[in-house]
Structure 1
Amino acid sequence: MSEDEAQSGEPTEFDGGQTTVQRPTTEPVRVGRVVDVPEAPDTVDLSETTLYLNRELSELSFHERVLNEAFDERNPLFERVKFLSILTSNLDEFFMKRVGGLKQQIAADVTELSPDGRTPREQWALVLERARTLLDQQTDCFRDLVRPALADAGIDIVTYDSLSSDEQAALRDYFEAAVLPTLTPLTFDPAHPFPFISNLSLSLAVLTREHDDAPTKFSRVKVPGNRPRLVRVDAHVDGDTGPSGDADETSTTKRFVPLARVIEHNLDLLFPNVDILDTSMFRVTRNAEVRRNEEVAEGLIEMIEDVLRQRRFATVVRLEVEHDTPTAVRDLLVEQLDLDEREVFEREIPLDFTELTTLFDLDRPELEVDPWHPQPHPRFAGLSADDPDALFAEIARKDVLVHHPYHSFTGTVGTFLGAAANDPKVLAIKATIYRTAPDSEVIETLIEAAKNGTQVAVMVELKARFDEENNIRWVRRLEEEGIHVAYGTIGLKTHTKTALVVREEGDGVQLYSHVSTGNYHSQTAKLYTDLGLFTADPDIGHDLVRLFNFFTGHSRHETYRKLLVAPTNLREEMTRLVRREADHARAGRDAHIVAKMNALEDPEMVRELYGASMAGVKIDLVVRGICRLRPGIEGISETISVSSVVGRFLEHSRIFYFENAGNPEYYVGSADWMTRNLDRRVEAIAPVVDPSLRVELDAVLDALLSDNRRRWVMDSEGRYQQLRPADDEPEVEAHTELMNRALAETHRARNGQHES
């Protein structure tokens, strides 16, 4: 690894919410099981709360970095729109999971402090305040920057009142024909209870009165999610196109009106013969932290189905209302939804920025990033599922490392599983499914293998949050095909991304393994960066045999030959590796740790890193999101750097590098350094031993740590600054560098120059 890999670039601070997320306190901290830090100075208390950043505020800091991509005028316009939409999705999930969890703790009178010394109620109040600022910044970005830029580009999101009478008449016809039949007004009055408001649905609050002396009534109208949320004006004025907006593309300006406004201005067709006094939009977010005791559930499928039912009616954790909502409507919603005023967020429209993705249907390539087509991996080039002998021989010859989305998922993982499914020499295929596509080719391939007489066993994690329904559907389909299916393990989530092929060959039975950082999901493989190791190493194969036996049986193996498996030996081994670097540093030997992950949340691992830094170990952390550790603290973390790369692809791979006095070790796998990954999930991390594959991992880490375009660097206060190249310095963008590297590999392979 380069010694100056983190020094490139000049920092510039994003002024949209980069606030300090650490609060000094002297209150005691609860960090779970205590791990002694070797030879730590007596004057340093590594359980001191000021050494730990807050988990929830750290996650919101990541969302700020996401929002910055929408502010950044260096990005193509549709890319900025995309990040506005991503922020909405991210914050929806954050409120459902994290804020919902805090609210549950408050209701249960939990007073245990977080590692940074805060109670659940204190965290809840801080999170709401910080999220409010972030949502306001999202609105400002759209109103002041993105919407005008769209208009300049000939894409105008207009008000209903600005339309001509002919245009309003055309949209009224569209409303009456295609929208009105889908609407169901729900009125709240003495004869009708307050209507159920579904999670994340966009609604209109309508106040009506039958005559001057009649009482005012509240009605809720749900904006349908199966209609385009932005209605193309010229698509309906011409009268010869459908509601999707397939109008004359030669028109210079494309104008859109939010569907909610079309509904709002034509409510007289839904509420005839009454006075419509006021309309306003609102949106509700419900808690997703609904759980049942697995040990007393009759069955996991029944338990998950019950959780899904309960989640529909769970506690409301956020109410978003249009900024000019009448006080009477706001008060009614707060009362009926049982909310604290701090949980109400007044906003300008749109309340849901995911509706802007409708614009991506326009053919405007100049507003998008250049398309990326995942490349064939050089080692898989020329191989196909129709020639399993050649494919498995290539893996047996030498391990293969694939990197998505730079390498094709279909051309690597798909080919591997496809070859196994149609190979009469394959005795068994085993795989873990945490998340997969709704139309999963991976699942279909496994079903095909079973039909061909291969023994197939699949571990499907039913508790994968927000994918439960999809996974239940696949479980039932797999069982219908006679496939052995395990649903999960009591008290643990199975988060491993592994597959095993058992093949009979001339010299006996050979095991072919795939250990990955990402899910068997063909769609996210185009958007997430993930690594996958294909190997015929018998030790890793036998480790996977043990792991799959744990999934389908009832006993857990306590030893593994090479894999690091949670919750068995992963924490212990990672702790040992960090401490070994500290021992090397104290002895004057080369000591360096590079750890790339999605989150560094576990307090014990933070303490281990502090201890290693105090011993003199150079530590470079590439942490996409949550990070409790504070780098650059004098005498504690001076040798630690923390970077975060937010860009075109979602950084999802996990890589761990330990210098080991010149005899380095590399690992890739599914686990972050979070308490849940180390103690409460089944994870698998594999060593990478082939020198050429280590060169590939070095290239990935070097690209990320040399980035001066998308990389953010954290200071000791927990604030992030984005790097920019100096005037005399070339711009380095990690994702571009790695795309170019994949293209160069493809070029060399086509010219017979690939080094095998």
Structure 2
Amino acid sequence: MKDKDFKNYYVDRDISWMYFNHRILKEAQKDNVPLLERLSFLGIYSNNLDEFFRVRMASLNRLLESADKSAKKEKEHLKSTIKTINKLNNIYSKEYTETTDDVFTQLEEHNIRLLNEEKLNDEQKQYIKDFYYDKLNGSTNPIWLENISEIGKLQDNRIYLIVKRTEKEDTFGKKPKTDYAIVKVPDSEFGRFIVLPPSDGYQNTIYLDDVIRFCLPLIFIGFKPSSFEAYSFKFTKDAEMEMDNDSDYGMLQLIAKGVNSRKRGEPVRIIYDKLMPKDMQKKIMARLNVEHLDAALPSGRYQNHKDLMKFPDFGHSELKFPKWKHVMKEEFLSKESILKQIREKDRFIHVPYHSFDAYIRVLREAALNPDVKEIKTTLYRLANDSKVVKALVCAARNGKKVTAVVELLARFDEKSNIKWSKRMQEEGINVIYGVEGLKVHSKLLYIGSKKGNIASIGTGNFHEGNAKVYTDYLMMTARKELVSEVDRVFDFINRPFSQPRFRELLVSPNSMKTKLLQLINTEIKNAKAGKEAWLKIKINHITERDMVEKLYEASQAGVRIDLLIRGNCSLVPGVPGISNNIRAVGIIDRYLEHSRIIIACNGGLPKYYIGSADWMPRNLLNRIEVYTPVYDLDMQRDLLRTVEYGLEDTCNGRLIDGKGNDMIQTIVDEKPFRSQEELYNAYL
């Protein structure tokens, strides 16, 4: 396909991301989703958007600034992308406000009410005053606006109030004095919602922002009697320059490396109360040093809606998803050694349907078993109270040689990773801090034992918190060819400039992309020969241009391609003559779809793979990632069921069209089918 034609059927990664996040917003609009879960989806949408602007939009703006005359085409493309994102953001923002208002209106029908500072009865007013003197006093410290050179130097992604204090006229008729101050809302200390005494049959709560508004006369006590106005705002800073080697901007990225880092940390987006008077807006914008006002977005009274994920439930369990118990598979409850069972047959778990404690049992037994001499693992994200690390510490104390590869650049989890790295080093564990220039994103465990070595290869992080929300597979095997290659991946991490060959595993950046293309080429060859040819792929993101183009080529050759894609999708499915054999379905439900599964027809002898890599430039070129073949028939059947259930989902499966419409697929005269619920019931 010519490059000019290809661009017409390639959706920019960041525009595709906006479509994905909009699918989350659509989930918050569904009447059949419990109300408090709808609030949670609204919180997820808001949190995602904050991270997107901190990282991706900041990167796009930096790249645009770095562009010179030699990158004219790239610059025009960037301008167009940024313009489209801002347009979509404005449209979605209005939709978001309407959805939020609708959910809170419906909550009142269930006697849950959100009050503001003007709707309090006497008991509630006294409750807030007591709360201020008992807890809040001392945590609300105004800073006079005139003393702030740049607000942007303050912490971003926090809620601030700009307060206008106007002294009341005295008896001498002097013009009242007016001044301005900034107050940070201390939600990290007290939470965003304060539960109030019930009234009129309602259970009540109030934003901490409004508690501060009510308490302004107490906060500014000691000054002359005054009236107050307070309006909220927040700003998002440029978090970092993300070098993902996206081919769209390859030339620009090279140029950007030489750009002075003066823009790092400057605001890239400001959200403010649309009722804020113009004079106050100007003061904020001036102090934020904002040059481009298209980064300023008027919004509702409240910011940081991510806090809706923690909205008090007042015991209304009927307004939330029913609890699903994590199932412990029978073999992991057996008194027989789990290591012995793995040597007899491959084992697997599919979290969060299955309990992650099954994996912890493997680690604990390895830590105690005298036959085990060595444990190696990759750790990309670590829970604050990591049972995984505790098991590794136990192993080290029992004389095992333990190696942990910790990725310190796992964004937003750096603090936890650093804490546990120090702890592991103190316990004598050999901690390796990744590979320079390559993120270690693979999910691997190697257990060296006298009775036979064992490996675990997964699609998601060894993180107990994630394992309760993210859908991921972990395969545990004693197959010598697989286990020995897992061990060689650890050797590669130690010596990243070596060129080891892998016959079984697909490893990036070595040969994964080449082997994936070969896999698709086999289907193309079979289709052209009149044989059965298809691909079933479950993945988070597909944006790598060569992979997109190869899938288009396969579609045109007659290969039937079914995709389950949660997030970014640069493909445009269903285009006659281009992608009419491609169907893409995106699922947003109570669990975050995260597992990566590839199933290829292979001439009637299907090949199965699971692994850690999405089909993005960063995964295929800039990270150490691993896919493993799956040979166990039971696991193959389970993987096929997971993918096919997702493709059949008529409750939460949206047909991705490359234009952002993404309507839920429907099948006439058939009972609604919700894939996650059906999988859960199948595992019981």
- TM superposition score normalised by structure 2: 0.92
Q: Distance in 2 between matches of 1:550 and 1:391?
A: 29
Quote the residue 2:298 is aligned against.
346
Quote the residue 1:234 is aligned against.
197
Q: Distance in 1 between matches of 2:229 and 2:279?
A: 11
SS at match of 2:467: helix
Select the residue among 390, 400, 403 that pairs with 2:350.
403
Quote the residue 1:129 is aligned against.
87
Q: 1:603 to 1:114 in 2, by over 3 A?
A: farther
**Is residue 2:448 matched to residue 1:491?**
no
Q: Distance in 1 between matches of 2:88 and 2:143?
A: 34
Q: Distance in 1 between matches of 2:416 and 2:523?
A: 43
**Is residue 2:179 matched to residue 1:222?**
no
Q: Distance in 1 between matches of 2:648 and 2:71?
A: 38
Q: 1:134 to 1:594 in 2, by over 3 A?
A: same
Q: Distance in 2 between matches of 1:109 and 1:732?
A: 49
**Is residue 2:49 matched to residue 1:91?**
yes
**Is residue 2:473 matched to residue 1:531?**
yes
Give the CA deviation at 1:188.
Answer: 2.4
Quote the residue 1:329 is aligned against.
280
Q: Distance in 2 between matches of 1:502 and 1:636?
A: 49
Q: 1:209 to 1:194 in 2, by over 3 A?
A: farther
Q: Distance in 2 between matches of 1:656 and 1:400?
A: 19
Quote the residue 1:296 is aligned against.
none
Q: 1:114 to 1:710 in 2, by over 3 A?
A: farther
Q: Distance in 2 between matches of 1:511 and 1:71?
A: 50
Quote the residue 1:50 is aligned against.
8
Select the residue among 255, 258, 271 that pairs with 2:220.
271
Whether the aligned pair in 2 keeps the contact of 1:670 and 1:683 (CA below 8 Å) is yes
Give the CA deviation at 1:679.
Answer: 0.4
Q: Distance in 2 between matches of 1:563 and 1:452?
A: 31
**Is residue 2:33 matched to residue 1:75?**
yes
Superposition pairs for residues 81-230 of structure 1, below 5 Å? 81-109=39-67, 119-143=77-101, 145-189=102-146, 193-195=149-151, 196-209=153-166, 213=175, 216-224=178-186, 225-230=188-193
Whether the aligned pair in 2 keeps the contact of 1:198 and 1:312 (CA below 8 Å) is no
Give the CA deviation at 1:379.
Answer: 3.0
Select the residue among 304, 315, 319 that pairs with 2:270.
319
Write the letter of the residue equivalent to 1:65: R
Q: 1:208 to 1:252 in 2, by over 3 A?
A: closer
Give the CA deviation at 1:312.
Answer: 12
Quote the residue 2:250 is aligned against.
none
Q: Distance in 2 between matches of 1:112 and 1:646?
A: 42
Unaligned residue ranges in structure 1 (runs of 5+): 1-39, 238-250, 294-309, 744-756
**Is residue 2:202 matched to residue 1:253?**
yes
Q: Distance in 2 between matches of 1:110 and 1:551?
A: 37
Q: Distance in 1 between matches of 2:113 and 2:135?
A: 23
Q: Distance in 1 between matches of 2:524 and 2:278?
A: 61
Percent identity of paired positions between Structure 1 and Structure 2 = 30
Whether the aligned pair in 2 keeps the contact of 1:459 and 1:486 (CA below 8 Å) is yes
Whether the aligned pair in 1 keeps the contact of 2:18 and 2:88 (CA below 8 Å) is yes
Whether the aligned pair in 1 keeps the contact of 2:59 and 2:242 (CA below 8 Å) is no
Write the letter of the residue equivalent to 1:152: E
Write the letter of the residue equivalent to 1:701: V
Question: CA offsets, 1:350-369, max 9 Å, x none?
Answer: 31223334434521111111
Q: Distance in 2 between matches of 1:555 and 1:492?
A: 11
Give the CA deviation at 1:349.
Answer: 2.8
Give the CA deviation at 1:348.
Answer: 1.2
Q: Distance in 2 between matches of 1:313 and 1:186?
A: 24
Quote the residue 1:4 is aligned against.
none
Whether the aligned pair in 2 keeps the contact of 1:709 and 1:725 (CA below 8 Å) is no
Whether the aligned pair in 2 keeps the contact of 1:187 and 1:194 (CA below 8 Å) is no
Q: Distance in 2 between matches of 1:311 and 1:375?
A: 51
Quote the residue 2:251 is aligned against.
none
Give the CA deviation at 1:453.
Answer: 0.5
Q: Distance in 1 between matches of 2:42 and 2:528?
A: 48
Q: Distance in 2 between matches of 1:115 and 1:570?
A: 31
Q: Distance in 1 between matches of 2:72 and 2:104?
A: 40
Quote the residue 2:255 is aligned against.
none
Write the letter of the residue equivalent to 1:529: T
Whether the aligned pair in 1 keeps the contact of 2:149 and 2:287 (CA below 8 Å) is no
Give the CA deviation at 1:635.
Answer: 1.3
Q: 1:150 to 1:701 in 2, by over 3 A?
A: same
Superposition pairs for residues 346-745 of structure 1, below 5 Å? 346-383=298-335, 390-410=337-357, 412-505=358-451, 510-715=452-657, 717=659, 719-726=661-668, 728-743=669-684
Q: Distance in 2 between matches of 1:449 and 1:415?
A: 13
Write the letter of the residue equivalent to 1:564: L
Give the CA deviation at 1:155.
Answer: 0.5
Q: CA RMSD in A?
A: 2.3
Write the letter of the residue equivalent to 1:421: A
Q: Distance in 2 between matches of 1:278 and 1:98?
A: 35
SS at match of 1:436: coil
Write the letter of the residue equivalent to 1:515: I
SS at match of 1:233: strand
Q: Distance in 2 between matches of 1:348 and 1:440?
A: 39
Give the CA deviation at 1:518.
Answer: 0.6
Give the CA deviation at 1:185.
Answer: 1.0
Q: Distance in 2 between matches of 1:593 and 1:111?
A: 43
Q: Distance in 1 between matches of 2:75 and 2:527?
A: 32
SS at match of 1:374: coil
Q: Distance in 2 between matches of 1:112 and 1:422?
A: 62
Q: Distance in 1 between matches of 2:11 and 2:72?
A: 10
Q: 1:278 to 1:349 in 2, by over 3 A?
A: closer
Q: Distance in 2 between matches of 1:566 and 1:326?
A: 54
Q: 1:719 to 1:167 in 2, by over 3 A?
A: closer
Give the CA deviation at 1:292.
Answer: 11
Question: CA offsets, 1:53-104, max 9 Å, x none?
Answer: 1211111111111011111010111111111111111111111111111111
Give the CA deviation at 1:47.
Answer: 5.5
Unaligned residue ranges in structure 2 (runs of 5+): 169-173, 245-260
- TM superposition score normalised by structure 1: 0.83
Whether the aligned pair in 2 keeps the contact of 1:288 and 1:311 (CA below 8 Å) is no
Whether the aligned pair in 2 keeps the contact of 1:228 and 1:259 (CA below 8 Å) is yes
Give the CA deviation at 1:601.
Answer: 0.6
Q: 1:312 to 1:394 in 2, by over 3 A?
A: farther
